[in-house]
Structure 1
Amino acid sequence: MPRLVRDRLTWVIYLQLAIWCYFLYGFGPVAPLLRDELHISRTLAGLHGTGFAVGGIIGGAILPALTRRLGRHRLIWLGMALVCAAAVGMFGAHHLALTLTFATLGSFGGALAVNGINSALTDHHGAAGPAAISEANAAAAVVGLIAPLIVGASFSAGLGWRTGLVVMVVPVILLAFFARVRAPEPIPVETTDGRRHRPLPRTYWLAFASLCATGSIEVCLTLWGSDVLRSHAGVSAGVATAAVSTLIAGMLAGRLVGGRMLLIFRPTRVLLAALAMSLAGFLIFWGATVPWPAMGGLFVCGLGVGLHYPLGIGLALAHSDGQPDLAAARASFAVGIAFAVAPFALGALADTVSPHKAFLLVPVFVAVSAVAVFRLDRATLPPPRVDPAVVVPDKPGRGGSVEAP
């Protein structure tokens, strides 16, 4: 059984990821507030998810080149600085073009930081890498849990949601000043034909497909879950914004348990169980017409959703053929596609049929991920164990032996 050793570098990386998740989950539930503030449709408000997607895709596209030029350590800190710049810029943004710009900038910075973080954890912890990634995301979920609460409380107190978002800059400055460790740099990949990298194997692309589908689930719930609470479960705007924390609370619990499970069970099996949990929680949330069952369903859904990304990215990096930075960069495309297509499609559908009915897209995404993970599990099953005391002859009468007495 692999052993996870948490040294100083590990804790610094955990904090970096947690600060990014404050921005991600703090900004996620404000889409309905922006819709009211800017007097725009749900379709246009959903473009903020598209902005997140564009930033992530651009970050993934240039990540390999930036990693070679800057190194992994400086790349992570560059990403953190850009996320802070986005939070500060959002504070003064009161036009759709500006909020979209800073959402894109924040996502771009987040893509640089997160992909560097995942690769660093994989290289630093080896076989315990998936467990480290899951635990890092659990630590991030702790901060993500309080982010909507702070943003919602700031909005309800009349300070505006932007005040609750911009406070993330302070811990970044403190961490940058006091951190005295460096992330491990990538090992150059040797190829026989002179290319910079080898093609990623087929099993990687199954993990990629799962990441795309599970990313769609998470972004739909974080961006539009509060809207369903308002329109179908009768929750007020401020409370609905803060209530997204129930989803993140479930994600935190799921990641804490999942990190231990990954040291015992195959990641594909744990992910299939997580998808089943997500579907069960979603059905409770979707069918509820009063606040508490709806929020309880979000919590149950979060138990599964919390494991989707760490397990998906862990599987992608594990099937990278020794190229974790390349795999992380390509995985940004999966997350970017999810952020680009899912919230915009759900918002457009919600404008047509209602947010509640539009949310039936979520079970479709669950099914797509489950198929990809099941195929990955079958493709990577270990060969059957053969008892060395038993030799089966190739053909009768041509030698061989039988079981030893």
Structure 2
Amino acid sequence: MPRLTRDRLTWLTYAQLGLWGFFLYGFGPVVPLLRDEQGTSAAVAGLHSTGIAVGALAGGALFAPLARRLGRGRTIWTGLAGVAAGVAALGLVRALPATITAVAVIATFGMLVISGVSVVLTDRHGTGAPAALTEANAVGAGAGILAPLLIGASVDAGWGWRPAMAVEIGLITLVALAALTFRVRLPRPAPAAAAPGAPPPGDRPAAGRTAPAAAGGPTVPAAADLTVPAAAGPRVPAAAGLGSARGGGATTGLGSATGAGAAADAHRSGRRLPAAYWIAWVLMAVTGSIEVCLSLWTADVLRSHAGMAAGTASAAVAAIVCGMFVGRLVGGRFALRYRPVPLLLAALGVSLAGFALFWIAPVGWLAVTGLVVLGLGNALHYPLAISIALAVAGPAADRAAGWASYSMGVGFGIAPVALGWVADGVGPHLAFLLLPGFIAAAALLAARLGRALRPAGEPAPTTPATTNA
């Protein structure tokens, strides 16, 4: 079974993703409050999610070139600085176009954080990357529990949501000071005249850590413990060691376990991502739609169907994030033992059960219980999907991470606006019946992904198989 060693760099990246989680899960309960302030409809208020989508697209396009120029570490810190500036602007402006623009700026820089953390952890932990990514997202969910509670308390106290959201700026400052105090450094850019076979810019190992040889670097994450069939793209055996070298913008270098064709496969994968990656990409867009719809409109359902006050409903959104936090803590252990596709299908089943309880609940406490169960299922959607996507991308991880942020843009840009438009006609409670459709679509995609990852001729496993170290 793969092992996960948490060093200072790992804990720092966990904290950095947590800072993004504080904003993301805190902003959801803010949207209905902004709608009340600005006097708009639910569909118009949902345009804030479109702003997040536009920012995600921009951040995805910027990540790979910035990572090449600055290194992944500096790119992550640039993203956090931009998030702090955007949150400050959001607290100062009032008009709808200005708040949407501020949210788009925050999302642009936030995607640099998400992409950077995902790639750093994948490169750092090899076969333990799915567990590391799950734990990192658990920290993000943990920070997200705090945000709705602070916003609800601030609203109930008569201060509004802005003082609670401003806490984000203070948290970013604290993490930066802690990194300086304890001298924790993310990977730095390589010298301009890097030798062939050296790690790519921004991926020099931390002090005291030996750089992997080109033929024996970190292994492909155990995200699939599978081989991508030839029809779906270049074969990426899970046992092959991956090193990464960048020359003239191309990403190369593959472990010797792949045999004589390794270099050619690595070169091809730098230009073209396999079909399994794109299935995972669509899956992330669908599961992202589930998460963002819940984040933005759950408070509205709790107000209209369960009879909660505005402040209490905003705080109750933390129940989803609480479930996600617990699910990701436990899921990190499962990710080390079981293949991700069966685990993902099980998580989608838990999500469906939690949604059913939430939707039929006529009282607040029962609805909140359903939200906790829903969060337990949602916990593993993104970490498992992104770990599969980066695993099958192989040496093209930076580019794959950038493209992955586009899937978030699609999910965030379309689903909440569609749900808001339906909610304006039939009410938020009935409109939420779109979510079981998203869950069903995600299950179909996960099953298709399992077939794409299975080598040709291999029968489907009847029980989840444990991964190999």
TM-score by length of 2: 0.80
Shift of 1:195: 8.9
The residue type paired with residue 183 of structure 1 is L
What 5-or-longer segments of structure 1 have no aligned partner? 386-405
Once the two structures are superposed, what CA deviation does each residue of 1:321-379 show, in whole Å capped at 9, x if it has no partner? 32211111111111110000010000011001111111111111111111111111122
Contact 2:270 2:395 in 1 (8 A): no
The answer to whether structure 1 residue 181 and structure 2 residue 184 are counterparts is yes
AA of the residue aligned to 2:184 = V
How far did residue 319 of structure 1 move? 1.3
- The percentage of counterpart residues that share the same residue type is 51
Contact 1:275–1:305 (8 Å) recurs in 2: yes
1:207 is paired with a residue whose SS is helix
2-structure distance, mates of 1:196, 1:334: 20
Residue 318 of structure 1 aligns with which residue? 391
Equivalent residues of 1:50, 1:339 under 8 A apart: yes
Which residue matches 1:219? 292
Shift of 1:384: 5.0
Contact 2:21 2:143 (C-alpha < 8 Å) held by counterparts? yes
Partner of residue 308, structure 2: 235
RMSD over equivalenced CA pairs, Å = 1.7
Contact 2:53 2:411 (C-alpha < 8 Å) held by counterparts: yes
Counterpart in the other structure of 2:317: 244
Aligned twin of 2:223: none
For residues 213 and 84 of structure 1, do their structure 2 counterparts lie closer, same or farther at Cα, with a shift above 3 Å needed? same
Distance in 2 between residues matched to 1:41 and 1:117, nearest whole Å: 36
**Per the alignment, in what secondary structure is the counterpart of residue 326 of structure 1?**
helix
Report the CA distance between 1:70 and its aligned residue: 1.6
**Structure 1 counterpart of 2:451:** 378
Residue matched to 2:78: 78
Q: 3-state DSSP class of the match of 1:263?
A: helix
* Distance in 1 separating the partners of 2:84 and 2:327: 28
Match of 1:366 in 2: 439
Write the deviation string for residues 164-223 of structure 1: whole angstroms up to 9, x where unpaired.
011121221222233123333353213879999320000101111110100000000000
Query: Which residue does the alignment assign to 1:334?
Result: 407
- 2:101 maps to 101
**Which shows bigger deviation, 169-178 or 339-348?**
169-178
Size of the alignment, in residue pairs? 385
Q: Which runs of 5+ in 2 are unaligned?
A: 188-201, 204-243, 253-262, 460-469
The 5 A counterparts of 1:96-135 are 96-135=96-135
Q: Which residue is equivalent to 1:210? A: 283
The one-letter amino acid paired with 2:25 is Y
Query: Which one-letter code corresponds to 1:14 in the other structure?
Result: Y
Which of 347, 368, 382 aligns to 1:295? It is 368
For 1:394, the equivalent position in structure 2 comes to none
Deviation, 1:142, is 1.1
For the residue of structure 2 that corresponds to 1:233, the secondary structure is: coil
Map of 1:285 onto structure 2? 358
Runs of 4+ in 1 over 6 A off after TM superposition: 191-196
Q: CA deviation at 1:26?
A: 1.0
Partner SS for 1:80? helix
2:272 to 199, 204, 213: 199
Structure showing the higher helix proportion among its residues:
1
* Match of residue 216 from structure 2: none
| Whole-Å separation in 2 of the counterparts to 1:253 and 1:176 | 26
Asked whether 1:66 is paired with 2:139, we answer no
Note if 1:56 corresponds to 2:63: no
Give the TM-score of the pair, scaled to structure 1: 0.92
Partner of 1:161: 161
CA offset at residue 381 of structure 1?
A: 3.1
What is the correspondence of 1:348-359 to structure 2 with a 5 Å cutoff? 348-359=421-432
Asked whether 1:89 is paired with 2:162, we answer: no
Q: Distance in 1 between matches of 2:308 and 2:173?
A: 37
Q: List per-residue Cα deviations over 1:110-165 (Å, max 9, x = no partner).
A: 10111000000000001000100000111111111111000111111111101001
- Which structure has the greater CA radius of gyration? 1
Local SS of the residue matching 2:336: coil
In structure 2, C-alpha distance between the alignment counterparts of 1:133 and 1:295, rounded to whole Å: 27
Secondary structure of the residue aligned to 1:183 is: coil
1:132-147 map, 5 Å: 132-147=132-147
| Partner AA of 2:153 in structure 1 | A
Q: Is the 8 A contact 1:201 1:321 kept in 2?
A: no
1:227-250 Cα offsets, whole Å, 9 max, x none, are 011111111111000000001111
Equivalent position SS for 2:93: coil
- Please give the secondary structure, in 2, of the residue aligned with 1:370: helix
Matched with 1:306 is: 379
Q: Secondary structure at the match of 1:168?
A: helix
Cα 1:223–1:378 change in 2 (3 A) is same
Q: What is the one-letter code of the residue matched to 1:60? A: G
* Counterpart in the other structure of 1:395: none
Which of 334, 340, 362 is the equivalent residue of 1:267? 340
